[in-house]
Structure 1
Amino acid sequence: MSDEDRYVFIAEWYDPNAALLRRYNLIFYPKDASIEMYDVKNHRIFLKRTKYEDIKFEDLFVGNKVNIFSRLLHLVDYGDQYTAHRLGSKKERALALIKPDGILKMGEIIDMIINSGLTITKAKMIALTRDQALDFYIDHHAKPFLHELIGLIISSPILAIEIFGDEAVSVWKKLMGPTNSSLARSEAPGSIRAKFGTDSIKNAIHGADSVASAAQELEFFFPSNGGCGPSNTSKLSNCTCCIIKPHAVSEGLTGKILTAILEAEYEISALQMFCMERANAEEFLEIYKGVVVEYMDMVVELCSSPCVVLEIQEGNAPKRFREFCGPADPEIARHLRPQTLRARFGKNKIQNAVHCTDLPEDGALEVQYFFKILNN
């Protein structure tokens, strides 16, 4: 990377006031982490070159959403040949599917994905119907193990994840290990199937073997035409809401937080990655407006980059889970309750790793806001 490098992206922003989709050239200068924006339609500078440390070089790839001064910009294309050549040539997307037998190990599997250098760009917990499973495994219809495979995949929820990175398909294939878990233990002992698989069917995960089939599989779970694919698994009752905050997601803590929640024997009944618009973040956190002085900072954090939202099932969930998250200030949490999530993973009162429902009666409402309202 030379001192004069600049990377150009075509970015779109939906302006709710004018009900218009506005298009910009977003230019990023790695040397000093500065950005500028150019209004494509009006042929003028929209934002002069400004240092903006909230955006990282690894956040810049086609398909991602980045938050710049409270505008959620969708990066839809490369803005010049240099950027396309430097950043786009090796980048691939692939589907990482955690099967029912691997779901209780999803935190550790996500950790392994992140540690391999891949980025998680979408995630959704899903319960497939038999027909959907047959559609997904259409290439296996002549195989003798089809019945057993379908039986497993529809037995309980699965987690569909879009992963992104340099040669993602082959990196993921290597990380998975051989299909047969016993073979994986002898040939690739560090692989996911070696660690968490049982046999050739119960092998914890699924992944495509080519770039073409990876694209097909992603389209099944995350349709590019704006459809929402198979529905989420939220139950919307007897539950509480947990949000793994954007700073924790971008710091690679998602897997560790999920593992801590599962080890404490909480049931995660729904999970989905969301990119919040500022207006939605304000609406969701409105209960804190005028109550806590950090309200605006909380809004800015929640819409700064993707977050992961969980529905936690349990009769007395809000009160007990809130205690498990710990005091809002991680410093206080570390003194008083060092084993809580915020003590272990939080940085400060705003970037405190997780949001959790405060009032028992709000648990289902907060979950509905994400899994029912925003999901539509």
Structure 2
Amino acid sequence: MASKKREVQLQSVVNSQNLWDEMLLNKGLTVIDVYQAWCGPCKAVQSLFRKLKNELNEDEILHFVVAEADNIVTLQPFRDKCEPVFLFSLNGKIIAKIQGANAPLINRKVITLIDEERKIVAGEMDRPQYVEIPLVDAMDEDYGEVQYESAAEVYNMAIIKPDAVLMRKNIEIKEKITKEGFVIEIQENMILPEEVVREFYNHIADQPDFEEFVFSMTNDLSCVLIVSQEDSEVIQEETLPQTDTEEEPGVLEEPHVRFAPVMIKKKRDSLQEYMDRQHMSDYCDIEDDAVKVSKFIDILFPDFKTMKSMNVQTTLALLHPDICEEEKDDVLDVIHNEGFTILMQRQIVLSEEEARTVCKIHENEEYFDNLIGHMTSHYSYVLALRRENGVEYWKALIGPKTIEEAYASHPQSLCVQFASANFPTNQFYGSSSKAAAEKEIAHFFPPQSTLALIKPHVTHEERMEILKTIKEAGFELTLMKEMHLTPEHANKIYFKITGKDFYKNVLEVLSLGTSLVMVLTKWNAVAEWRRIIGPVDPEEAKLLSPESLRAKYGLDILRNAVHGASSFSEASEIISNMFTEGNPED
């Protein structure tokens, strides 16, 4: 007699073919831990499964199962294997397989599939045509190649060289890469460490100009990309010949040939092959060795693997006017206590279009017009928040759309804690998805560029410390030139003071060596850079802003270490003058 399915903690047990067939009737996503009787289910991922079920299973479309391969005919290929195997069944179809207890990869797969399923149910996207994978051992040559996810995600590393960055080729290259279906996991402009340059370019170390090349790569700005590939295959339409007539017995007639479009699967080009085909190899170098790339990631982006494994996300949060005016500080305390990092924050009066977007879920209610009027006539508070599983966590924290619903189902939510007497609605807003968060954050916190200068008297060690401060402050180092500033160059940067008596002293200081001219980008960049560099006089800076760059590295009012544009219009004019193609640099 077949044993009955029973609950063991959060996972159902399937130990017969009948129960397997019954399990395939589950609606939504079922994650199946395939195990052998002699070793048992994988315990290493149970805490992850519990976390995922608590955070993602509000609509009961996520299921977890342990399946004993010994007693299930379908799972025969997995018998006598010691490595854990996880299958992903979506509405009864096995669409993916992960070998090995790789929690980050499993976590990402579950979140992606659940997010897609919810969008499909909500009518926000069409259901993809998933291909059911064969349940065979990928190492068994009799069964051929099996499509499944590797337990160790493979990345490529691309270095867009300094000359290409100055020519803005990095923008074009990134657009091409993403359009082709590659995913840019990280992108950062940086001065590369010598150890990375020497190892990355070890294959050309015997060339006579290699040392000169290393010097250039370790002193100028490169753009580093860590790239993954969503699919190893791509479906393409090709026109193939087909015949319209069938040959009849005894009749010799040349068949009519027509050309019809058909969809065929092809192996996708590697990143290197694609860059070669796009004639971008002169600007961009690729490393595809997984071991080397992993090492480079550890050196250049030490937090990346942890962030990926924790599924750290950024979301947009908005506090309605009643909260902004009366209880903002209390809410900020909650945000900190819940483990969020506040990346950016601002006070803003929403436009009508913005208010209608934020309050869209209430558009059929009688109070909607009054709500829009309130939102567009008072200050709201907008934040970009980051933490593990940030999008879903913030949505769960704030609760449902109305106070009545929140009292019934989420009495501990912020909606209940900070309920307003003016409206029956939730006084908080959160992004609905990662994609929505990216768009909303870009809208409310649009990036701005400013001009920054590190002066000649600053030592190399101090310069590196300043660049580190720039990175930690959240700036993107968009463009950079190391230049000996001639009077012509200086006039473009200091055009507002060229008529002052002390300007000749400024020119003298700038002539003492090379300066580092930079374009820094982030939201509110001009004001943020001015805040970080501090007052013009280093002595005053030490009193008023002791942590500022001028307080730390300035010597006197002329040799005050750094300079920054005083307004966005000034920054734009200087950037245009200094970084226009064809400008002299020396």
TM-score band (shorter)?
Answer: 0.3 to 0.5
TM-score, structure 2 normalization: 0.32
TM-score, structure 1 normalization: 0.45
